[in-house]
Structure 1
């Protein structure tokens, strides 16, 4: 396999404010370049949001603050599970100012900052979707990026909109509708199986991401 250090963020397609599509193309490129498994089985798309659509994340390039904090309505990253027990799982986030990719443990500590005291409306949950299912099922017609007059809030990517393999043109809302009430409080084999088989994965609290990866069989 190619070493991940050979890939710079500039070699990936990146359109500001379209993180879900950026991650979709990133997953495909990691597979094509031999950095991830050809079938994307070691990849997970992770949607981070909450009921209020207000999630603070640090070390983001879009920030105008020294600490890099941004209050996103939602954010999407790719996590790669490493088979080697001595290797850290990796986070691929094209919007992050941290090393690319970053070890999952340091990304959580520096971007999600679970120890930072937050009001309840800013608490974050994560929808974890297995790579193969995400690449087959995800679709976005980009309608969420238009205002009431039909004008673009942010310029869309130059390529055609992503359509799911079954022909569905848009299901982004199903991925980004995330509630803490839906989050699994405890992880077990059934929860992990659901994450690997369900179209929209599972929702877990931010504190369970590392534990979830540890329970996924290689």
Structure 2
């Protein structure tokens, strides 16, 4: 793979995956590699994930949503997920198999909203209201950088990207559809 990014060099804040990927998508290293932001959720907003750093290697976590970046290099798609235990820039097929070992056979199976990175960075805005408790404090410490306000949207629109029911930015695919579109595989090997 030609895309080389030191994971320690990226902007990263735990529990703010949408902002981490927004910044990552703009890095010069992805120029010419057709990067896409991928929101992972489902109708219930409870997705079973494995291979995440927050797990201890023997357990799983259920996220309400998660965001990763994928990019194509020489006909193969690679995943950049700062929260994964897998290599930063692992193959998409490896990522899907490790992260979703039950595939679509469980109620918490993932759906994927795939958006061109340039479109995502222009249109995404968040004032971090989703991370605030009733008393105004944060569930997790906010990033040190300013809130994100896309050039094409000035209001909070995170839920438009997480929503897997309504038509919105990009396209929504199930696990089989994502595999078929980006790896050429019809089902898990």
Give the TM-score taking structure 2 as reference length. Answer: 0.88
Say if 2:45 is the partner of 1:58. Answer: no
Cα offset, 1:51, TM superposition:
1.9
- Among 104, 108, 115, the residue aligned to 2:92: 104
Q: Residue 90 of structure 1 contacts residue 104 of structure 1 at CA under 8 Å; is this kept in 2?
A: yes
**Bigger fraction of residues in helix:** 1
Cα offset, 1:166, TM superposition:
2.7
Q: Distance in 1 between matches of 2:79 and 2:173?
A: 17
Say if 2:9 is the partner of 1:4. Answer: no
Gaps of 5+ in 2: 185-189
1:116-175 C-alpha deviation (Å, 9 max, x unpaired): 742x2x121111111111111011110000012211111110011000103413110101
Change (3 A) 1:116 1:138: closer
Structure 2 counterpart of 1:37:
31
Structure 1 stretches (4+) deviating beyond 6 angstroms? none
Give the TM-score taking structure 1 as reference length. Answer: 0.77
Change (3 A) 1:117 1:147: same
How many residue pairs are counted as aligned between the two chains? 184
- Among 70, 88, 93, the residue aligned to 2:61: 70
Structure 2 counterpart of 1:200:
169
Q: Superposition RMSD on alpha carbons, in Å?
A: 2.1
Q: Distance in 2 between matches of 1:44 and 1:62?
A: 24
**Bigger fraction of residues in strand:** 2
